[in-house]
């Protein structure tokens, strides 16, 4: 799996909603905040099914209504299109548009 090129990064990353580059590794981070734990965990459950279908899994940490997510591709030791795709799916679920 090839990491995103500089051109792809310049094009794709600014278009992601609220995702930032992690300082000490080639990864994306976003904190999702939900109304309560039920909403947070329900979102995680939906994402988990998609992650399994994609065979591409998030690194995430949940406390009550917040979920901190870090995306990177282990096999590429960096960001790939799979991370972008999963980030977009996560945003769609969180926005209730999917
Ligand atoms: N998830 N984020 C991420 N990165 C990977 O490289 C990855 C994964 N889930 C499953 C997976 N790779 C498998 O292809 C390998 O563990 C065999």
How many angstroms is it from 54 CA to the middle of ligand 1? 9
Mind listing the pLDDT tens digit of every residue in the chain (98 residues)? 899 999 999 999 999 999 999 999 999 999 999 999 999 999 999 999 999 999 999 999 999 999 999 999 999 999 999 999 999 999 999 998 88
Ligand 1 pocket residues where CB is under 6 Å: 55-57, 73-75
Predicted ipTM beyond 0.90: yes
Burial class (CB in 10 A: 0-12, 13-18, 19+), 55: exposed
Q: What is the DSSP code string of 72-91?
A: -BGGGTB--HHHHHHHHHHH
Domains along the chain?
A: 6-94 (3.30.1360.20)
How many angstroms is it from 35 CA to the middle of ligand 1? 30
CA-nearest residue for atom 8, ligand 1, is 56
| pTM, 2 dp | 0.96
């Amino acid at each position: 799996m090839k990491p995103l090129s500089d051109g792809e990064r310049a094009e794709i990353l600014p278009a992601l909603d609220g995702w930032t580059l992690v300082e000490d590794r080639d990864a994306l981070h976003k904190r999702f905040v939900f109304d309560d734990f039920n909403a947070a965990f329900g979102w995680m459950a939906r994402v988990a099914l998609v992650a399994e279908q994609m065979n591409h899994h998030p690194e995430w940490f949940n406390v009550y209504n917040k979920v901190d997510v870090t995306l990177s591709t282990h096999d590429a030791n960096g960001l790939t299109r799979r991370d972008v795709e999963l980030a977009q799916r996560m945003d769609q679920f969180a926005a209730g548009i999917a």
